[in-house]
Amino acid sequence: MFVEMEQSLLSKLKEIAQKHTDLTAQLSDPEILSNPSEQIRIAKARAEYDEIIDLYESYQTLNAEIADADEMRQDENADPEFKALAEAEWQELAEKQEKVIASLKSLLRPKNPYEDRNLFLEIRAGTGGDEAALFVADLMRMYTKYAELRGWKVEIINTSETGIGGFKEVILSISGKGAYRSLQYESGVHRVQRVPKTEASGRVHTSTVTVAVIVEAEEVDVEINQADLRIDTYCASGPGGQGVNTTYSAVRITHIPTGVVVTCQDERSQIKNKARAMRVLRSRILEEEMERQNAEIAQDRRAKVGTGGRSEKIRTYNFKENRVTDHRINLSLYQLEKILEGEIAPMIDGLVAEGETV
């Protein structure tokens, strides 16, 4: 069935097309060309509209093709076989146009200003001792594999190993378009139910791991006064390895006004560890501000996917049943092995879709 575009959507697209044209013209302005930072800013602003403009042009092309096919299928003097072909073409074009309109509506929805930002993913062992630490390693692998499937870059910022293949804590940096939009609902308590390798009786144990997804702050987002920082250096610690305890390369930064503390020790360079710690510190301070803003979000939306709080149990990984269940959207997938290999897109996409439905 042919779907016409709403006038309000069409008006919005025309407005965006004009903005795109204006920004393109500005990039040819000699004054802008002589100012690299302004040139980058304008190019970035224009790029935000590129996908919308491409779809709008597709819509316009389809509109013209649909009009031609419509005229042919309704031509009373045309050969019946020719009219049947025109009818089939009209149907096919109309279906394509319907998909284009749906994509345009999705792109024009109100956006979270941070959704295209990079993020820090913090995974920490909760209850369950060594078993929880081992599951931190499993989740680290899962999210790393998922990011690789999406073409995102993953960087290990900091780890605290247990020496048995697990981690007390892992902090990852994930960079790529739409990373925060996709992973923002992963914050919370992840529960694992399985028989530990060390359990002789074969009893199923329940352990927990907490995940925190923190949007990476840019310097313009958070202004930090150096006088408000206490920076300590110390010897890195770990389960072993050369050079671990030989230099004061580990860094601990405390932001005195908020009490936020960040440590980083994975690099052998104190300078690199300090730079990484500052990235995390700035982002945690921004997270506190975002949490204050999120408190004002409508209750009905919060109820859909939860508050994202780290104390909220959001998902269960049951090895005996080969099942992963997300309790917020009541979705169970019986493909645990695939999910732990990064194929978690169906669950993440379901959460994003639910979260964006107001």
* Full pLDDT tens readout for the chain, 358 residues: 456 678 888 898 999 999 999 999 999 999 999 999 899 999 999 998 999 999 999 999 999 999 999 888 888 888 888 889 989 999 999 999 988 988 888 788 777 777 888 899 999 999 998 999 999 999 999 999 999 999 999 999 889 888 788 999 999 999 998 899 999 999 999 999 999 876 766 788 999 999 999 988 876 678 788 888 888 888 877 654 444 455 678 888 898 888 888 888 877 788 888 888 888 888 888 887 777 666 654 444 444 445 444 557 899 999 999 999 999 999 999 999 999 999 999 999 999 888 876 4
Give the pLDDT confidence score for residue 240 in this predicted structure.
45
Contact, 91 vs 66, CB < 8 A? no
Total-model pTM: 0.64
Angle, helices 7-26/80-107, rounded to nearest 10 degrees: 70
**Closest Cα partner for 310 from 209, 217, 215?**
209
Beta carbons of 132 and 125 less than 8 angstroms apart: yes
Q: Confirm if 173 and 155 have CB atoms less than 8 A apart.
A: yes
According to the model, what pLDDT value does residue 241 have?
A: 44
Q: pLDDT at position 299, please?
A: 44
pLDDT at 220: 66
3-state secondary structure of 251: strand
* CB contact burial 13-46 (16+ within 10 A = b; e otherwise): beebbeebeebeebeeeeebeeeeeeeeebeeeb
